[in-house]
A and B are shown apart, each in its own frame.
Chain A
Amino acid sequence: MASIVIADDEFLLADMLCMLLEDEGHAISTALDGEEALRLVREQHPALLITDFMMPKMTGLELAETLRQDGFKEMPIILVSGAQGAIARTRRELFNAILDKPYDNQELLDLVAKLV
């Protein structure tokens, strides 16, 4: 069991991902924007962050940049993104993995199992 933070403004996607990972026995916290996710990570020091790209207040890219400068250099971050995968891939060093939406659930679960 690991503690995981999910950041996605699409609450249906966040809920679905949350249930999927809870079924695997993980403890999940969800944030609906980048700032909230930053706060949760700082509070909880999770084993993994799964973040969307486009979110209110702070993008997934900005979130990752802040966290990497903020002492979270080793925490794995997975970016799941609709159309902005290409932008994120120019900053490859920030993320441990980049998944394009729609992604395969099993692929994500395998990735999570490898990272936590």
Chain B
Amino acid sequence: MSTLDFFDRQKVGDSITYLSVFQTLRNEGLESVVKLLRKEILRQNASLLVFDGLLNARDRAETELDVKTFVAEVQSQAAFVDCTVLFLTSTRDADSSPEHTMVDGVIDLCDDIAGARRIRRLQIMKSRGSRSIGGYHQYAIRSDGISIYPRLESRQGLQADDPVTTRCRAGVTGLDRLIGGGLPQGSVTLLMGPTGSGKTSLGLNFIAAASPEEPVLHFGFFETSKRLRLKAGALGIELPDQNGLTILWNPLVENLIDKLGQRLLDAVRTGGIKRLFLDGLGGFERAGAERTRFVEFFAALTNELRQLGVTTIATWEMRTLFGPALEAPSPEISALLDNLILLRQVEVRSRMLRAVAVLKMRDSDHDPRLHKFSIGRGGIEIVGPFEAADDAITGLARPEGR
């Protein structure tokens, strides 16, 4: 126990007492244990009794009724002096455990293997007199104790956001013209493109365009704060200082999807964030042990961000650099997004050109034409529309007239 941060040696023997009732249980039986516990609760003036090893009591009991009687007696003795009781037991056959009917609450902790990794999940199986969120919630045990991450989609309210017509600058020279005057405030934009297509650079422009009244959060999986600032420096983009810009890096290791979601929303709330660049939506997808949840999770996350009035750009990495296939996230995910912008490299007359296409802008006019852009000093700049290259968006362009 001393490896836990909150372990306080001073409290042991003073306000925390550890007693073994094993011998009493073995030699004298459950009734004597009840008597002993009653005496000890009074003697220690205890407000909490943790009874570790209810399974032993079950083994000692002759009938199920004996176990129920034991649990009921311990509870009533403790309740009499306002002492809370926590019984710890193994879930041998959880549903048929006789003690479940006697207690006020049942929390089931489980430990699963998903692929090669271990996932700890808990569920509230019973909570008498108070509402609980059913189903499994992930939790972690670290040196600061247990942290529970309720499923994001299960705890967010159903309030609709209040759409506003205010636009905010995307920060990329020429882009605002293509998207009807800027990104609608509080909207969620997905920026799709293969690796090296300029997603992170566009993000840096978006971050740099924030006014001092718009605190920014960069929530990513790839660049640390230092690397990001280095990259911005190389592009000649001036990022807000640490007061205006929070950079949260989440290494792509074994993450918990709800922990990530909570970290993101906590940072948005505490920092009063108005602009969010979420670099790598795939990082969330990878962190989810159950792929089937991702749509609901993402719906809850985006709803919350809209309600908080955060203008969000999230990136989605496409696997193919070239080719006719354009894989977007699943159709359900795309439907949850307000805007969709695609970045690609296309081949025109044996030269690689960078192209941007606005595929979707919710409730606003946009320029449907494919545009060239460049990445140089100051970041991304929209150069102008492509002349005519029928299939340029797939990366397989042909010049006109051929």
Contact = CB atoms under 8 A, between A and B. Distances in A.
Interface residues of A, number: 16
Interface in A63-94: 81-84, 86-87
A32 B19 contact: no
Contacts of A11: 20, 22-23
Interface in B20-76: 20-24, 36, 39-40, 43
A9 interface: yes
Interface stretch (A19-27, A51-59, A107-115): A51-59
Contacts of A81: 13
A32 B24 contact: yes
B363 interface: no
Contacts of A86: 9-10
Given A56-B36, A56-B40, A57-B39, A9 B13 contact: no
Interface of A: 9-11, 32, 53-57, 59, 81-84, 86-87
Interface of B: 9-10, 12-14, 17-24, 36, 39-40, 43
A61 to B, nearest CB: 9
A54 B21 contact: no
Nearest to B37: A56
5 contacts: A9-B20, A10-B20, A32-B20, A54-B13, A54-B18
Contacts of B20: 9-11, 32
Contacts of B18: 54, 82
Contact of B12 (A10, A32, A56, A83): A83
A11 B19 CA distance: 11
Nearest to B1: A83
Contacts of A53: 13
Contacts of B12: 54, 82-84
Contact of B19 (A9, A83, A84, A87): A9
Contacts of B13: 53-54, 59, 81-84, 87
Contacts of B39: 56-57
A54 B17 CA distance: 7
A32 B40 CA distance: 14
Nearest to A62: B43
Given A9-B19, A56-B21, 7 more contacts: A55-B19, A56-B24, A56-B40, A57-B39, A59-B13, A82-B12, A86-B10
Nearest to A61: B13
B23 to A, nearest CB: 5
